[in-house]
Structure 1
């Protein structure tokens, strides 16, 4: 079978390699000609995955038409702000009814739409039930080493989700299905905000107690907005929720954690992003989630404070102090409310 991966970053490269391990002939679409040439000549992508050798069966091209024509599966692994542009350019070259899997954890910055919604708008209508999302705790660096990893795939169509599951699963990459497309997308996007906060907290030396509180209350915020947008709350107790949140908040592989840590050291956001040299989805997602929370009337205090730090020049220490000084509330009331929502009460 033939597959295309749109995006030659670390995650796109690893997913292409995973498909090759599973017997696919894979073409990576890379915007940068030098990256495509390196993949084809040397079997490496040193900028994103140093010392990783891309297996045989993976090639690269700068032509979207060449990448997507006559493919059984297409994986979209470009940053959130590029999805619509790439999908629109690829759409005229699609043939048949390929599976379309996106692995982008964010929202479209201007419209605030989920990535599957963007793909539905740009791809032909007959592919609407062939679109899926792949999410969960999965650092590219560890999947590249074939470390045991478990993820989740979701789609409006159970048949589509199970087909993607069958194509991606192997002895080091376990894939579960979940019918909650909205919840899986929202969990994957919003956890990056909390990871920025975790990096800030660690950089300020606040310790494990603070980070545990941040992650727990952050998960409550994710579920609160997710439910308002139509997600099932139980999804946030799984791989696309707490699983992804834990790995992104606690690992130095996490770009979002690293960005938060660098901000805690007094660096300007523009300097942090330039030094990272890669997309930090949590930054754009913080702005998007702040707007969504206002639109849905949902309280997200952690997100609001991070928005103030990132975009309003607020001192990180003051943001933490303001969070700790919020009015009294009862955790059990929120837990009971969540269970009532889950049970439809």
Structure 2
């Protein structure tokens, strides 16, 4: 692949990690952040590929800022944010595509714990777009011997897998914090995947996507690692922590907290059955204890698998 200029919006851990991967492949990488010295216009105007790695709460504001500057003619937009917009329930890629309808938008998601990738440990991810050529360009940008990148044509499924698994990671951390054992966690994650598929297909994603890296793969990574911020939220709640203090001490944003609230609002409005997400929501709101959440899930009406 010819040398490409990658402009990354957001200089957090994930954005920096992706930038290092592209740079190791010989590409030019430019970062923009509010605390940085370079203007947004300067960074955007030189981008062959524009990658957004800001937190969910900053996505819409970032999109509105970028629309004020002309992008290079063939520039591709990539989003690496996982979340749902509180006002519209749109995903990050949907927000970008809404404002830039004629631009290819690519979603990047997978079982990608930044600190492991920074250590050079092997990992894989998915880049997804309706525009196959755009996905393939992004695939080539990041692929190397330690980071395997797969292309996919279901961007909504890839994005929802990476987003909704954060809700399940809070539940998984709670399970481990309570010391409930392997059987309980296996049951939780299996039913959690079923819940994610139920939501995703209701919103128009393909069921098979959730059995891939951005669904099942991301669940296995995020729901089993103390490196996951969302897992830490659940674990610390189960061991006596208070949510405001937990969030204040995290290194970065636990997107699953906002995602849970938006998901519950949408599920209620659309009649989607989300029992695990409901208990996570009640736990985050302080309406029940971690132990009571487990009891509620175990005592639900018996039903076929």
TM bin, normalised by shorter chain, reads: over 0.9
Name the structure 1 match of 2:61: 85
Name the structure 1 match of 2:227: 253
| Inter-CA distance 62–280: structure 2 relative to 1 (3 Å threshold) | farther
- Could you tell me how far apart the structure 1 residues matched to 2:185 and 2:38 are? 42
| Inter-CA distance 313–266: structure 2 relative to 1 (3 Å threshold) | farther
Out of 27, 32, 54, which is 1:29 matched to? 32
- Secondary structure (helix, strand or coil) at the match of 2:223 reads helix
Name the structure 1 match of 2:214: 240
Q: How much is the aligned-residue C-alpha RMSD, in angstroms?
A: 1.2
- Secondary structure (helix, strand or coil) at the match of 2:67 reads helix
Out of 69, 91, 94, which is 1:117 matched to? 94
Name the structure 1 match of 2:141: 167
- Could you tell me how far apart the structure 1 residues matched to 2:232 and 2:49 are? 33
How far did 1:62 drift? 4.5
How far did 1:126 drift? 2.5
Q: Residue by residue, what CA displacement relative to the aligned partner does 1:55-87 show, whole Å, maximum 9, x if unpaired?
A: xxxxxx452112111211111101111111112
Moved more, 92-101 or 244-253: 92-101
| Contact 1:97 1:126 survives alignment (8 Å) | no
- Could you tell me how far apart the structure 2 residues matched to 1:165 and 1:277 are? 28
Q: How does 1:201-212 map to 2 (within 5 A)?
A: 201-212=175-186
Name the structure 2 match of 1:52: none
| Contact 1:31 1:62 survives alignment (8 Å) | no
Q: Residue by residue, what CA displacement relative to the aligned partner does 1:132-182 show, whole Å, maximum 9, x if unpaired?
A: 000110111111112111111101111111111111111111111111111
- Give the TM-score of the pair, scaled to structure 2: 0.96
| Contact 2:9 2:31 survives alignment (8 Å) | yes
- Give the TM-score of the pair, scaled to structure 1: 0.85
| Contact 1:71 1:98 survives alignment (8 Å) | yes
Moved more, 76-85 or 290-299: 290-299
Aligned residues: 301
| Contact 1:70 1:96 survives alignment (8 Å) | no
1:13 lines up with 2:24 in the alignment: no
Q: How does 1:1-345 map to 2 (within 5 A)?
A: 1-32=4-35, 36=36, 61-93=37-69, 94-123=71-100, 125-127=101-103, 130-331=104-305
- Secondary structure (helix, strand or coil) at the match of 2:187 reads helix
- Secondary structure (helix, strand or coil) at the match of 2:51 reads strand
Structure 1: runs of 5 or more not aligned? 37-60, 332-345
Q: Which runs of 4+ in 1 moved over 3 A?
A: none
How far did 1:91 drift? 2.0
How far did 1:277 drift? 4.3
- Could you tell me how far apart the structure 2 residues matched to 1:199 and 1:70 are? 42
Q: Residue by residue, what CA displacement relative to the aligned partner does 1:20-69 show, whole Å, maximum 9, x if unpaired?
A: 0111111111222xxx4xxxxxxxxxxxxxxxxxxxxxxxx452112111
Structure 2: runs of 5 or more not aligned? none
| Contact 2:48 2:72 survives alignment (8 Å) | no
